[in-house]
């Protein structure tokens, strides 16, 4: 199976690519390198590209015979999202829309989405579950929640199979 990993040169994406290679998958990293680092990649093919370039995404999906997508590409600084919210909506929401359009054009039906705990907003209970109300308090969280809603709509309309990972803080070290 060939997996397109958008944002695969970022922290979480590059570690995911490493694991995919170890597990026998063929990852194809698609990253603009605005925040990613080419030297962080440890395997797979690399394509430098803009997430908004639907035609290029279609080309990559077809060229590599991609079967699944792991979508990690996003701007992810909460403070910056408050100072420049349109930057976050343009990148995180419009970029995800372009990816979904490309996937639909070539028939790729499975996606893992890197979301965030920021979709929950302020905790109403000491332990958060998936049933916690979704009430983001910043544009970053709003942008991720909007993408989740696009995924829900795409599942209902086009049969997209997806899952959203709402992790908190990613931390670690890798030599």
pTM across the whole model: 0.94
pLDDT of 174 > 80? The answer is no
What CATH number was assigned to the domain covering residues 2-165? 3.40.50.720
> Burial, 47: exposed, middle or buried (Cβ in 10 Å; 0-12, 13-18, 19+)?
middle
Tell me, yes or no, if 120 is annotated catalytic: no
27 within 8 A of 47, measured Cβ to Cβ: no
pLDDT band at 71 (very low <50, low <70, confident <90, very high): very high
| pLDDT value at residue 45 | 97
pLDDT band at 175 (very low <50, low <70, confident <90, very high): low
Residues 104, 48: Cα–Cα separation, whole Å: 21
**The pair of three-digit structure tokens given for residue 35, joined into one six-digit string:** 């925040």
| pLDDT value at residue 88 | 97
Residues 96, 155: Cα–Cα separation, whole Å: 14
Domain definitions of the chain by residue range: 2-165
- Percent of the chain at pLDDT > 90 equals 86
| Rounded (5°) CA angle 114-118-120 | 110
Mean pLDDT of the chain: 95
Element of type H or E holding 48? strand 45-48
Query: Tens of pLDDT along 21-44?
Result: 999 999 999 999 999 999 999 899
Mean pLDDT in residue range 61-88: 97
Query: Tens of pLDDT along 123-149?
Result: 988 888 888 989 999 999 999 999 999
> Which is the catalytic residue, given 30, 64, 140, 158?
140
72 within 8 A of 83, measured Cβ to Cβ: no
């Amino acid at each position: 199976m060939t997996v397109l990993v958008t944002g695969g040169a970022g922290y979480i994406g590059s570690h995911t690519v490493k694991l995919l290679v170890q597990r026998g998958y063929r990852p194809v990293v698609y990253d603009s390198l605005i925040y990613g680092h080419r030297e962080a990649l440890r395997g797979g093919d690399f394509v430098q590209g803009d997430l908004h370039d639907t035609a290029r995404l279609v080309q990559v999906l077809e060229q590599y015979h991609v079967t699944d997508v792991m979508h990690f590409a996003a701007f992810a600084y909460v403070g910056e999202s408050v100072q420049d919210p349109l930057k976050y909506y343009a990148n995180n929401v419009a970029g995800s829309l372009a990816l979904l359009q490309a996937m639909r054009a070539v028939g790729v039906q499975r996606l893992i989405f890197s979301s965030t705990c920021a979709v929950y907003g302020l905790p109403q209970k000491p332990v958060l579950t998936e049933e916690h109300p979704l009430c983001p308090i910043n544009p970053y969280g709003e942008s991720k929640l909007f993408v989740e809603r696009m995924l829900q709509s795409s599942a209902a309309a086009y049969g997209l199979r997806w899952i959203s990972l709402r992790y908190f803080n990613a931390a670690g070290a890798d030599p």
